[in-house]
Amino acid sequence: MKTELTRRAMLASTAAFAVSATAARRLRAQDRITLRMSTPASETDQRSIALATVFAPAVADFATYEPHYNASLIKQNSELEAIASGDLEMSITSAQELAQFMPEFSIFATGYVHQDAAHQVRVFNDPLMDAFKQKAEDELGVKLLAVMYLGRRHVNLRFSRAERDVQTPADLAGVKLRMPGTDAWQFLGKALGADPVPMAFTEVYTALQTGAIDGQDNPLPTDKDAKFYEVTKQICLTSHLVDLNYVAFSKAVWDGLSADQQAVVKKAAEDAAESGRQKQLKLEDELAQFFIDQGLDVYEPNLKAFREHVQAQYVGSKFAASWPEGVLEKVNALGA
């Protein structure tokens, strides 16, 4: 907690400095900007493709989009600090990463809260998000432009189903399940009944191959894109998190744009998110058969048991304590 507060205070002052510095040299009409975007995602991930093929051309009149994939520029979970300090202009950030600085964002990282992709969009565009977006701008110097759909996260293990048949959270006892390296992720891994292991995305394939971990969780399109099917034997369709990312944009850079340019950037991000969402949804529909053809067991566990167990872990947790009064009810009311 102490570390989080210090980190947050540091960021708040860095962000404030970055904003005023940019305001002082507000973009002249002829200035071009470079938008460096860093993500742990690969170039073939649908979010990367959407930004490169929809966002980049839409802003090309005044901005050069410069993507860096596979965490090659900034390591996973450090992108927000990089934006705050002016070392990066864009990232595809997660609610879990934002929750490191603003714990209330954990509500969007909680198991079995979002119901589907359309629910995520309704939540993101609802006035309930205004305070969250404002806080990200004020405290981190980060504008959240659009919500991207990552997909339904499922448990993917090295064990065959004959070795371990996962029906309920109890069946994950003792399983070393890699989860990304923040508190909110680790909590979710534990809530699923597993022993969570923090690890960067780019290290997961090798860790599965060598047996350093027993499994990982990601949506089906990511499992395919990262070739996790080559080093695992089953996918248990827990759907424990309908996962999202936000298109994060430097507030300092935003403030240097004209109102017209800001409108173009915002629309470009929304259009890219919509394009990526549709492709990701289609892939999710098609991919179970792909994994079966690769020899994996793909099956649905007792979803009621998982949902009830996971939700019960959040009740009374430090995460739930950080959620503003009434927000969970509003999010639920926007569901199907």
- Interface residue list for ligand KDO (CB under 6 A): 39-41, 45, 92, 94, 150, 180, 201, 218, 222, 245
Nearest approach in angstroms of CB 92 to ligand KDO is 6
- Rounded Cα gap, residues 90 and 142, in angstroms: 9
**CB of residue 306 to ligand KDO, shortest distance in Å:** 18
Q: Which is nearer to ligand KDO, 222 or 261 (CB)?
A: 222
Residue closer to ligand KDO by CB (options 92, 310) is 92
Residue closer to ligand KDO by CB (options 45, 104) is 45
Asked whether 303 and 175 are in contact (CB, 8 A), the reply is no
Residue (222 or 250) nearer to ligand KDO, CB:
222
Give the shortest CB-281-to-ligand KDO separation in angstroms.
16
* 249: Cβ contacts below 8 Å, ≥ 6 apart: 83, 89, 90, 142, 143, 144, 145, 265, 269
Q: What is the dihedral of CA 332, 139, 64, 59, to 10 degrees?
A: 50
Closer CB to ligand KDO, residue 94 or residue 100? 94
Amino acid at residue number 180:
P
Q: Which is nearer to ligand KDO, 84 or 248 (CB)?
A: 248
How far apart are CB 41 and ligand KDO at their closest, in Å? Answer: 4
Element housing 212 (H / E): none
Minimum CB distance to ligand KDO, residue 99 (Å)? 11
- Matching residue, tokens 């989860």: 179
Minimum CB distance to ligand KDO, residue 90 (Å):
13
Roughly what angle, to the nearest 10 degrees, separates helices 183-191 and 303-314? 130
Q: What is the DSSP letter of 27?
A: P
Q: Where are the beta strands (DSSP E) in 158-265?
A: 176-179, 195-198, 215-218, 234-250
Q: Which residue has the tokens 């860790």?
A: 207
Both structure tokens of 207: 């860790």
Task: Quote the least distance from Cβ 233 to ligand KDO, whole Å.
Answer: 19
Nearer to ligand KDO, 89 or 97 (CB): 97
Contacts of 281 (CB under 8 A, 6+ apart): 117, 149, 151
Query: How many angstroms separate the CA atoms of 137 and 206, rounded?
Result: 37
